[in-house]
Amino acid sequence: MKGLVVGAAGMIGRKLVERLARDGSLRDEPIEALHAVDIVAPSPGKTTFPIVCEAFDLAAPYVAPKLVAGRPDVVFLLASIVSGEAEADFDKGYAINLDGSRALLEAIRREYILSGGVYKPRLVFTSSIAVFGAPFPEAIGDEFFLTPLTSYGTQKAIVELLLADYSRRGFLDGVGIRLPTITVRPGAPNKAASGFFSGILREPLAGKEARLPVADSVCHWHASPRSAVGFLLHAATMDTRALGARRSLTMPGVAATVAEQIEALRQRAGERAVKLIRREPDTIVERIVAGWPSRFDASRAESLGFSAERTFAEILDAYIEDEHVHIDA
């Protein structure tokens, strides 16, 4: 079993590599080798198998063929420019999120042709709930049409279509997973428009101020980094015959308002932590978030074995446990 993780230096990619290193196997097969790449070289921990870590720009034309030349059995395509950055830098968003992704699909198709149709890897693509756009029903099912209202959502939706077509043609075996907003993200804030959902929890837990740019009534769909890794691993190992032609699924999550997030913080860390949240409305972020859905019917994904937390308190507890957060009594 050989694996390729594109976007391995990002938060989810890093946690995925750590989990693969800990498990040492995938699809009940020992991992023979892993190739981990990103715009900066990943720095994984100790592994029981060889791992090659390299820095590449997926938008560069020579990169995709190089990445699949070794014919990995499973490819995790996580690399992307986050929502806020894709909206601010149109060219960069399309170069990475669309052109880079298509280049990887094309490189796989060429290896398929060169192998006489023998090479057909499983490709797991991280899509997003941003592929949907308002107006929304009460809860969005997988049958709801894709009308994204951001460049980021548009780029993800296009790759979903490509993934389905390349799978239909037999060049690869693709699974697209539409991730909820992953909360709580450890580390430094990023440029994602949704970053404040993590910031209003992560920063106060560390004794720092956090900026809240939207109203407490804003409701959103969340899952933990722990669940995100579980989604990826299940997508890499599931029987894809049950997917049929619809290769992308909305992942399970928790619908929670900002007020409910803050209450979970209050229950875990007290009023002192809550007082570190600074309300500073931002019209740009408000507009972007207003175009996102807040509740989903993820029954199709759940019927296929995907699972996540059931309450926001569980999401916050996962962060505290996984990141070894100390809370002063």
Of 94, 152, 166, 319, which one is the catalytic site residue?
152
Residue 218: closest CA among 144, 275, 294: 294
DSSP code at position 54 = E
10 Å CB burial of residue 252 (0-12, 13-18, 19+) is: buried
Residue 71: closest CA among 36, 11, 120: 120
CA-based Rg of the chain, rounded to a whole angstrom? 19
**Catalytic site residue 152?**
yes
Q: Cβ(140)–Cβ(180) under 8 Å?
A: no
Q: Cβ(103)–Cβ(58) under 8 Å?
A: yes
One-letter amino acid identity for 151?
S
Q: Is 312 left (phi over 0), alpha (psi -120 to 50) or beta?
A: alpha
Alpha helices in 115-195 (DSSP H): 151-168
Distance CA 279, CA 179 (A): 27
Classify strands 122-128 and 74-77 as parallel, antiparallel or unpaired.
parallel
**Contact residues for 28 (Cβ-Cβ < 8 A; gap 6+):** none
Catalytic residues: 152
